[in-house]
A and B are shown apart, each in its own frame.
Chain A
Amino acid sequence: MSSGILEVPKGASFTKFNTQHQQKWEDPSSTSDYSTRIEPPFQAFNQTSQTQSLLLCNNQIKVPMQDGSVNDLLQASKIQDWDPSAMLNNLSFLGQKIHQLQDLVYLIIGRKGQVLGRPDELLVQQQQLVTADLTSIIVQLISTAGGLLPSVKQTLSAATTSLGQCGEFGGVVFPSSAQGLNDGVQPQNAGGSKVSEPPNSVDITSNNGNEQSNHIIEEHELKDEEDAEEGENLLPGTYEILQLEKEEILAPHTHFCTICGKGFKRDANLRMHMRGHGDEYKTPGALAKPTKESSSEPTIIKRYSCPYAGCKRNKDHKKFQPLKTILCVKNHYKRTHCDKSYICSRCNTKKFSVIADLKTHEKHCGKDKWLCSCGTTFSRKDKLFGHITLFQGHTPAIPSDEIKAAPAGTSDGATNKVGSVNFNLSYVSSESEVQSSSMDIKGGIDDAVGYFSPLSFDTCNFGGFHEFPRPPFDDSESSFAFLLSRSCNYSQKSGEE
């Protein structure tokens, strides 16, 4: 597949943003426009007429500057952004609905007082009606609020399918046209800007059914896009599959200067570079993002396939799961099918194939002192214990350096001990010749001159012993000489340490 195909979605997606940005740079008055977009919740309290006039004024400024198609597009997206009159309609409708429901419930309460405990078919039906109405009110309320708050968008996308079924409100709530919808459906590329993303994703998805809903998420999560799309249920055939070649994926640059041939990672950087090649590249039109050719016809959703045969992300795989963007493809291919060439300079163990992953790791490297037996490290003890709780058979690992340190410190003492005990035990086993052998063994074990030096026998007077008969329960260890010699042996050795 050639890079020509690659260009198509990018150009298309840039069109809208480009025009808008340009508008802002050139016209200071459009800052008000900007504010309406950024802070939709505040708008809710403003006068509807005022906002509308603002919008109108914006449009008037734009008209002479842009050609017709772009203007149409802009207007469409404006209306779609936030329509206070529609909102008002919506709210009043909701109010009516709630009042109706209130009356119904009053009625039910009145009946209950009259005929207590009688299973009434009518009552059951009314209850069902109430619940159904309540559900629809809730859903509608959420969607109305969701139109205002960009942060609610994600949760809304799940609720929209049921909204679509409600049907009856569709026309009231979402006055957007199919034309406006297509703007949002464009696959994002790496240069996509969040500011320009309209807060109208709800509208789109509700009208288009389950065609596509998650496209906003992928923009927020540059790194985890592979996981994020797990929930996506695109029917095979409803999207176009593109597959890049390995060389294309791994190429450091995707944009090349047509004059000098220099490569760039981003189109914007290329355009900045182009300015150096002459004044014709400095015009606003040349510096603007390339626009979409035509946004009037619905764009086919594009998904990407990994060129690696047998990979789950390869289109020939039985359970093929497509990748959403080119960035996804690049990261996926590098992570899964390439060598991990970036090694952490701190720990020298962790390897990565994507440099961003290495940077993320380096932020935390060294802090992970909690280690599981499976090799996973954690920066916090409670995280490790949570992990151990979850996985059968995993235990916290005791750091290996401790193992080395522990015997090293006591090795001398330990061997010493073993030696002495060994001596002791062998001595005991030859029980029959206790007294006679004790001196022999002692002599045999150590001939060192200073053996008894710390506690010479001369200082001890054994004369006192003769006063007492041998105890009847005499055991093998009763020999004083043996005991003292052993203890001295120890002190002697440890003194040499």
Chain B
Amino acid sequence: MLSFQSSKNVLSLTEDLLVRIYELLAAESDRKSFRLVCREFRRIDTLTRRHLRVIRIEFLPILLRKYPRLQSLDLSACPRIDDGVVSLLLTRVGPGSNSPILGHWAWGLKSLVLSRATGLRFSGLEMLARACPCLESVDVSYCCGFGDREAAALSSAVGLRELNMDKCLQLTDVGLAKIAVGCSKLEKLSLKWCMEMTDLGIDLLCKKCVDLKYLDVSYLKVTNESLHSIASLLKLEVLGLMACPLIDDVGLQFIERGCPSLKVIDVSRCEGVSSSGLIFVVRGHRNLRELNAGYCLSELSTALLHQMKNLNHLEVIRIDGARISETSFQVISANCKSLVEIGLSKCLGVTNMGIMRLVSACINLRVLNLTCCHSITDAAISAIAYSCRSLVCLKVESCNMITEKGLCQLGSFCLLLEEIDLTDCCGVNDKGLEYLSRCSELSCLKLGLCTNISNKGLSYICFNCLKIHELDLYRCTGIGDDGLEALSNGCKKLRKLNLSYCNEVSDRGLGYIGRLEELSDLEMRALHKITGVGLEAVAVGCKRLADLDMKHCEKVGDSGFWALAYYSKNLRQINLSYCGISDMALCMVMGNLSRLQEAKLVHLSNCTVEGVELALRACCVRIKKVKLFAPLRFMLSSEILEILHARGCIIRWD
């Protein structure tokens, strides 16, 4: 963070120098500090800012007026946006009635993220598409109401190059045809979970949008016909076919002969695909960079292995769930020397010897996933650590035989390690953590179910790994308040923390948690010692808290919930099941938390039906998903249920 002793120094800097300094600030929090320094700095911020992610829709008009040079606008955090808001934003007349700011912000906009904006319909989208002539990228993923009419509205943005329509459940071939004809320059398109899509739509798309480089049709019920069409795309580089149940080896034969630019293919979880299908793909594309075939192979056959010898440029391979022999590792390591990532999750036949052979040649490996490879021991880990010095991510969940010796090697050689998953590795102890703490770049550490670690071990990590932003201590019963104290002193950047079932944690521990200003996700199920005091400390301290799970925290009283309702303004998801919250507090929480989208409210023993009803009434305008106790279905008034339904809220009855 910058600090200026004298105002003269600040003023002596010219504008272009300030802009340069500003551009060097990477973290959003640093930029925030920068613009809070003085008016001049704030002016620099408004002039140079290109990207804006809006958290609260109420500020949108002011922000858009303040930042006229926006190129990228992210509205995914305000799902309440609807057609009315859009029309106001675009036609809004400023204080001087004929001011030139009429929708001015939209002119330069290139990227627009409208993910989860379920309120936005075709009229709003049409206005947006017309107002933003330079629009190149749009994300409408998870807009459940996005259908053909919306697609038609969006298709008037002719310059569109990237479009994400994941989980637009209403979208059919007709809508896709609108997009394909209207936006013929499309290069990147994602259609995951658009379940209405058929071969006809994909065929038309491939004929109209010949510039496509990235196409994701994962989870669609498309058949080999679609692959036949896709094979005609000359520029296609990335093809996602994850979990397409109807495609099989015959379809992949088309891919063998087509798609000359193909670099990445994902056929994971495709039931119909076998190794012969993959042989087709590999035979046709010697320049393949990434092959994702998780959970579709029963075995890595020798025929496939023989073809894979030619993939000299292969960087990523994932064959999760397949049976693999020791000799296969030898072949892979001898031929695919540029491998960067290997996924062997739940593979059978992964042994120490195999891993040793693999890593002996693949020295550039950065990501290695060995989840549930139970026969791995310290010998393999040592070999990995010794060979792959640039390892960034290692996942060894459920590898019970790993002990401090393996971690010692990792701590000695893999100093670039950023992410390690040691969930359910009983062999990890305090000593092991001490060795591991030498990896000072560590940002994500998962220690769930490691019952042998204590506060001491955690404190080593907290002392050395200051960059940690995700820590999982699920059921680490040895961790108590002292460990959390160390955590709050060291890992100031922590964003995600799981403390569920760490029974020793009390109010004092949560007090330390409250010092973590960056914390956004907190899971603390079944902490029986904590009360309202602890929750209050968290609510007051963790201003960015967005996701809170406190199921089974029975001792927390109303005072804690009052505090939560009052301070945790950014809360988006909350789980209050089995909590002792009262009617009044529930009403306050649900009514006052203006960003709340999802709530789980099961088994609230101190709440009455009227209380739940009132709470739902208080939040019905913004809530998107709510889980309720099943018998309430017949006790709540039909009026409130209708309102929730009309607002697009999904109710799950438990």
Contacts and interface: CB of A to CB of B under 8 A. Distances in A.
Given A389-B207, A398-B174, A475 B152 contact: no
Interface string A397-418: 0100011001000000110011
B56 A385 contact: no
A454 B614 CA distance: 8
Contact of A414 (B58, B83, B566, B618): B83
B594 A477 contact: yes
A476 interface: yes
A428 B62 contact: yes
A414 B120 CA distance: 11
Interface stretch (B84-92, B285-293, B394-402, B414-422): B84-92
A465 B587 CA distance: 14
Contacts of B567: 468, 471
B621 A490 contact: yes
Contact of B178 (A395, A414, A424): A395
A476 B60 CA distance: 13
Interface in B194-247: 200-201, 203-204, 207-208
Contact of A425 (B88, B119, B587, B643): B88
Given A385-B203, A468-B566, A487-B621, A476 B84 contact: no
Contacts, number: 135
Interface of A: 381-382, 385, 388-389, 393-396, 398, 402-403, 406, 413-414, 417-422, 424-425, 428-429, 431, 454-455, 459-461, 464-465, 467-468, 471, 473, 475-478, 480, 483-484, 486-488, 490-491, 494-495
B584 interface: yes
B42 interface: no
Contacts of B642: 494
A487 B569 contact: no
B84 A395 contact: no
B148 A398 contact: yes
B84 A418 contact: yes
B82 A385 contact: no
B569 A417 contact: no
A240 to B, nearest CB: 49
> Which one of B59, B207, B566, B569 has the greatest number of beta carbons of chain A within 10 Å?
B566
B61 A468 contact: no
Contact of A385 (B155, B182, B204, B646): B204
Contacts of B83: 414, 417-418
24 contacts: A385-B204, A393-B181, A395-B178, A398-B149, A406-B121, A417-B119, A418-B83, A418-B87, A421-B85, A422-B84, A425-B88, A454-B617, A455-B614, A455-B617, A464-B558, A464-B559, A464-B562, A468-B563, A477-B56, A483-B592, A484-B591, A487-B621, A488-B617, A490-B643
Nearest to B87: A418
Given A385-B204, A465-B566, A483-B592, A491 B620 contact: yes
B144 to A, nearest CB: 15
B90 to A, nearest CB: 13
The 3 closest A-B pairs by CB, nearest first: A418-B84, A396-B174, A395-B181
A461 B152 contact: no
Contacts of B207: 389
A381 B172 CA distance: 12
A476 B57 CA distance: 11
A489 to B, nearest CB: 9
Contacts of A473: 543, 569
Interface in B526-558: 540, 543, 558
Nearest to B594: A477
Interface in B601-654: 614, 617-621, 639-640, 642-643, 646
B173 interface: yes
Interface string B413-452: 0000000000000000000000000000000000000000
A471 B58 contact: no
B177 interface: yes
A385 B566 contact: no
Contact of B569 (A394, A424, A431, A475): A475
A459 B614 contact: yes
A148 B627 CA distance: 78
Contacts of B587: 460
A385 B175 CA distance: 12
Nearest to B155: A395
Interface of B: 56, 58-59, 61-62, 82-85, 87-88, 119, 121, 148-149, 152, 155, 173-174, 177-178, 181-182, 200-201, 203-204, 207-208, 540, 543, 558-559, 562-563, 566-567, 569, 584, 587-588, 591-592, 594, 614, 617-621, 639-640, 642-643, 646
Contacts of B85: 421, 425
B584 A460 contact: yes
Given A417-B82, A494-B642, A461 B617 contact: no
Contacts of A414: 83-84
A396 B178 contact: yes
Contact of A381 (B155, B200, B566, B584): B200
B543 A475 contact: no
Given A385-B200, A468-B567, A491-B640, A480 B84 contact: no
A471 B569 contact: yes
Nearest to B646: A413
Nearest to A495: B639
Contacts of B591: 480, 483-484, 487
B181 A388 contact: yes
> Which one of B87, B152, B177 has the greatest number of beta carbons of chain A within 10 Å?
B177
A422 B84 CA distance: 8
Nearest to B81: A421
A395 B177 contact: yes
A315 B39 CA distance: 86
Nearest to B561: A464
Contacts of B177: 385, 388, 395-396
A484 B618 contact: yes
B84 A417 contact: yes
A396 B201 CA distance: 11
Contacts of B62: 428-429, 431
Given A398-B148, A477-B594, A455 B618 contact: yes
A421 B621 CA distance: 11
Given A428-B62, A471-B566, A495-B639, 20 more contacts: A385-B200, A385-B201, A388-B204, A395-B155, A395-B177, A406-B149, A413-B646, A417-B83, A421-B84, A422-B84, A428-B58, A429-B62, A459-B614, A464-B588, A468-B567, A475-B56, A475-B569, A477-B56, A477-B58, A487-B620
Contacts of A385: 173, 177, 200-201, 203-204
Nearest to A464: B562
B297 to A, nearest CB: 34
Contacts of B540: 468
Nearest to B176: A396
Contacts of B614: 455, 459
Nearest to A429: B61
A398 to B, nearest CB: 5
B204 A389 contact: yes
A483 B569 CA distance: 13
A420 to B, nearest CB: 8
Contacts of A413: 646
A459 B181 CA distance: 57
A421 B88 contact: yes
B507 to A, nearest CB: 17
Contacts of A468: 540, 562-563, 566-567
A398 B569 contact: no
Contacts of B620: 487, 490-491
A403 B646 contact: no
Contacts of B84: 414, 417-419, 421-422
A480 B562 CA distance: 12
A155 to B, nearest CB: 30
Contacts of B558: 464
A459 B174 CA distance: 52
A494 B148 CA distance: 28
A475 B58 contact: yes
